[in-house]
Amino acid sequence: MKRLALGVLLSTATLSLYAQADSIKIEKVTIEGEKLKEESTYKKELSQEEAKITRQIDLGEILFEFYPEIWYMRKAGIANDLYIRGFSRDNINVLIDGSKIYGACPNRMDPPAFHVSSPQIESITIKEGPFDVENAGSLAAVVNVKTKNPQEGLGGEIGGTYGSWSYRTGYVWGNVGNKFVKVLVGASNQYSKPYESGEGKKVTEYAKYSAGGKPQEYKPQYINDKAFNIDRVWFKTILSPNDNVDITLSYAFENARNVLYPALKMDALYDRTNRLNGDFVMKDIGLKFSIYYNEVKHDMRDTFRTTSNMFPSRGYSMKTYAESKMFGTKLTKDFNFMGFDTTVGIDTYLRNWFADNTQGTNNSIMIPDVDIKDVGLFVKGSKNIDRWTISGGLRYDYNYSKANPNLILRGSNKILITKGLIKNFSNSDNYLSGYIVGKYNFNKKDSVYIGVGHTVRAPDPEERFIALFGMAPWYGNPDLKPTKNTEIDVGGEVFPLNNLGLKANFFYSNLNDYIYLYQYKAKCLNNSNDCTYTTYRNIDAAIYGFDLNGIYAFNDKVSAEIGIAYQEGKKTSKKGIYKDSDLVEIPPLKTRLAVKYDDGSLYALVEGIYSAKQSKVDSDLKEQETGSWFIVNLKAGYTYNKRLFVGVGVDNVFDKFYYNYLSYVRDPFRGISQNGTPVKIPEPGRFLYANVSYRF
Ligand SMILES: [Cu+2]
């Protein structure tokens, strides 16, 4: 056992050594004020992950690999949308340096996590459950992505990845600073051709669908052209006029071009993001003020598809131009109140979303310049009492949303108002959120916890105000109520042996007024044919499940990791309009088993990821069953002199042909074949890649 204890210490050293070359630290936290650092290394390894050797395509794929309860929805070779414990979209809060950011695309081509890339990231903190009051609308989880801070001295890193199907990334960042001023500047490019599935077909070849009564697909010259090409630059400075004050200013720009979305009927010609953040901290009085602004401009068209042949002169038949803007402030003050480490704050944001849609000769405003204003007041605190750590929080929000009716009245959308489908153009909500978590520490390592929380999130601009008239009308429901999640979480971490650690969480989420898609057939508004309408309804639902993670050390170099997660989702009230009680997009059982070798400079890993079949699907939304699959990934890396890192990896070693359970999209812009089957996008086949980075 002595030797093992030593091994534990050695692997701590390894972790920090790896942290010196490019890597991302990922941590899952359960409770505020939890101090993990000085405790057992297994505990650290159970809670923290080091994303070092991965293809680093996007956050969705990186987090999917480490956490069995995290998934992604695939529509393209990149820009996967995160799913956590069966929750997605606005039900989870994805923040970049504490700032909210939203994609512009009404079809979620650019989910929030798309707007930051691996070389920019220092760490990712994931908090599952309704235990966040600092940020508006963290209904089921909050993911905070922290970007790298500039350090004192001179340094930087240059690196890149090369992989199958011309996947290549290159990046460089440099840092200069003293006690008073520190500056970090970076740039990167990420490029790929379309990947191939396990059956050897290009992902673009699966886009076979029907439009205008004819079969449609990619034009032959785009089957193996670019799949994405993304340039990014970023800048951050920290000014410290004295020991007590830090002023942080950062700016990032991202230009994604030619991003192909074979699951949908359009591709993004460009998606441009500007992000600005400012933080002002006065350490002695625990005061922090943050201000941020970000905007995304998104242009998607069917230029690369055969449908565009109908309008050869302008080069597209369908187009959406969309803009999302976000402005926010947060003021917080830390103090001690009756022994509680307490924080109070005011959190505000203004979100604006606009989208203009052209289909054939029809032009209409799809998202009618919707403004959402939110003001939130919160207080949270935590305290250690004997063996207990108690933490709690409370938040009040006022939320006001409004659309511009004149924009809906323009063009063909007018009929949605004149026929009475859209009646209101604004709504306001007031609500309270809060939680309490108690953790009992048996000793420094073993603990159990129980938490109860209630959170609320307001309907997003699309759910309340989208307006799109056509063959398949899609319209918002301004009367939607905010979704309320009342959840109980129970879990713990135990170390029954010195070299064995286990961590488990169970949750039951009771959802009132869960916002859900509603599709129905009725007479079209402008003729006597049948149309399929898509809108939103509030239902009551429940999502529950568990995840389990374990680590076992064979000796000081070799260890095994296991992860299992399972969730179920049910409509608890079908409101007389739904037939199936299964909720849509609930993940099947997923497990991961990995064996790792790590001696401080040489690192190797074999991992298997298994997904069970998903047959609990929502037939109300025509969700399809997905078969089970099992893939194996291999990784190896070598760190030389703490500066040079070389890694190689093979994902999906056996070139399996398989689909993620989220490979269909509930989206109205999804391609549907002439016999009614939706386009599904398989996962990549065998993917070889190599990473090199050098820290200077
Ligand atoms: Cu789009």
Q: DSSP class of residue 179? A: S
Contacts of 598 (CB under 8 A, 6+ apart): 11, 14, 557, 559, 604
Q: What is the 215 CA–ligand 1 centroid distance (Å)?
A: 22
Of the candidates 301, 303, 262, 265, the residue with the CA atom closest to the CA atom of residue 76? 262
Domain ranges of the chain: 2-695
Q: Measure 599 CA to ligand 1 centroid, in angstroms.
A: 46
Distance 426 CA to ligand 1 centre (A): 25
For the segment 340-345, the average pLDDT, to the nearest whole number, is: 94
Q: Which of 294, 293, 316, 324 is nearest to 106 (CA)?
A: 324
Place of tokens 């959840």: 487
CA 172 to centroid of ligand 1, rounded, Å:
29
Question: What is the reported pTM?
Answer: 0.92
Share of the chain above pLDDT 70, in %: 92
Q: How far apart, in whole angstroms, are the C-alpha atoms of residue 87 and residue 90?
A: 9
User: Each residue of 199-236: pLDDT tens digit?
Assistant: 999 999 999 998 888 899 999 999 999 999 999 999 99
Report the separation in Å between the CA atom of 464 and the middle of ligand 1, taken as the mean of its atom positions. 19
CA of 346 to the centre of ligand 1 (A): 33
Residue 670 CA to ligand 1 centre (angstroms):
11
Which band of pLDDT confidence, cut at 50, 70 and 90, is reported for residue 479? very high
Ligand 1 mean position to 295 CA, how many Å? Answer: 15
- What does the pLDDT average to over 487-504? 92
Distance from the alpha carbon of residue 321 to the mean position of ligand 1, in angstroms: 8
Q: What is the mean pLDDT of residues 367-389?
A: 94
Residue 118's pLDDT is what?
A: 87
Pick the CATH number of 2-695 from 2.40.170.20, 3.20.20.140, 3.40.50.720, 3.40.980.10: 2.40.170.20
The whole-number pLDDT of residue 6 equals: 30
What is residue 607's predicted lDDT score, i.e. its pLDDT? 95
How many A from CA of 327 to the centre of ligand 1?
Answer: 22
Distance 661 CA to ligand 1 centre (A): 22
Measured in Å, residue 248 CA sits from the centre of ligand 1 at 32
- Lowest average pLDDT, out of 159-163, 257-261, 411-415, goes to 411-415
Phi, psi (rounded to 5 degrees) for 617: -120, 160
pLDDT at 22: 54
E-strand ranges in 442-557 read 447-457, 467-468, 474-475, 483-497, 500-523, 530-553
Mean pLDDT of 393-400: 97
Report CA(233)–ligand 1 centroid distance (Å). 22
pLDDT higher than threshold 70 for residue 666: no
Find, among 408, 382, 404, 406, the residue nearest to 393 by Cα.
Answer: 382
Rounded-to-integer distance, Cα 122 and Cα 389, Å: 28
For the cut 70, the answer to whether the pLDDT of residue 623 exceeds it is: yes
What is the mean predicted confidence (pLDDT) over 110-138? 92
CA of 75 to the centre of ligand 1 (A): 11
Q: What is the pLDDT of residue 7?
A: 34
Average pLDDT over residues 186-191: 96
Burial (CB count within 10 angstroms: exposed 0-12, middle 13-18, buried 19+), residue 526: exposed
Dist. CA 543 → ligand 1 center (Å): 29
Query: Can you tell me the mean pLDDT for 637-648?
Result: 90
Instruction: With a cut of 60, say whether residue 532 has pLDDT above it.
Output: yes
pLDDT (tens digit, 9 = 90+) per residue, 47-74? 666 666 777 788 888 899 889 999 999 9
pLDDT for the residue numbered 29: 82
Give me ligand 1 centre to Cα 356, in Å. Answer: 11
Residue 676 confidence (pLDDT): 72
Mean pLDDT over 4-10 rounds to 33
68 CA distance to ligand 1 middle (Å) = 29
| 239, amino acid identity | L
3-state secondary structure 531-582: EEEEEEEEEEEEEEEEEEEEEEECCCCEEEEEEEEEEEEEEEECCCCCCCCE
Rounded mean pLDDT of 229-249?
97
pLDDT in tens, 299-329: 999 999 999 999 999 999 999 999 999 999 9
Question: What is the Å distance from ligand 1's center to 538 Cα?
Answer: 26
Greater confidence (444 vs 512) lies with: 512
Q: Are 195 and 77 in contact (CB under 8 A)?
A: yes
Report strand pairing: 629-640 vs 340-359. Answer: unpaired
Give pLDDT, residue 21: 44
- Between 197 and 53, the higher pLDDT residue: 197
Sign for the CA dihedral angle at 4, 10, 14, 20 comes to positive
Q: How far, in Å, is the centroid of ligand 1 from the Cα of 269?
A: 9
At residue 410, what is the residue type?
R
Q: Which residues contact 273 (CB under 8 A, 6 or more apart)?
A: 101, 110, 115, 252, 253, 254, 294, 295, 296, 297
Instruction: Supply the pLDDT for residue 32.
Output: 56
What is the 405 CA–ligand 1 centroid distance (Å)?
A: 23
Residue 469: per-residue pLDDT: 86
